Homo-oligomer: A and B are copies of this chain.
């Protein structure tokens, strides 16, 4: 249930690494990583992939955290948030069946 930011902050703290180090690996300013960890900025897909590699965790797990965070952000404040998510699920399932 964790979001991306909390997840990678925990991992980074477990290894006692400063923002600087991880940020360097991602080739971004440490200020940005700080913001990503605290949910003030969105990570890019490539950054998520690199983070999974860096911390040696399953890429798809981190992508799910990241994507679901974005979805939650997108429906925030809407009364129909849940309904929209459910309908979106149906649409995705439907598209799968008819996609080559």
Q: Which residues of A contact B (CB under 8 A)?
A: 1, 3, 60, 63-65, 67-72, 74-75, 78-95
| Total copies of this chain within the assembly | 2
Are A92 and B81 closer than 8 Å at their CB atoms? yes
Interface of A (DSSP majority class): helix
Which single residue of chain B is at the shortest CB-CB distance from A62?
B80
Chain B residues whose C-beta falls within 8 Å of the C-beta of A69 in the assembled complex: 91
Instruction: For A60, give its contact among B1, B64, B80 (CB under 8 Å).
Output: B80
Which single residue of chain B is at the shortest CB-CB distance from A87?
B68
Which single residue of chain B is at the shortest CB-CB distance from A70?
B74
How far does the Cβ of A72 sit from chain B's closest Cβ, in whole Å?
5
Instruction: For A74, give its contact among B60, B63, B71, B95 (CB under 8 Å).
Output: B71
Instruction: For A71, give its contact among B71, B79, B94 (CB under 8 Å).
Output: B71
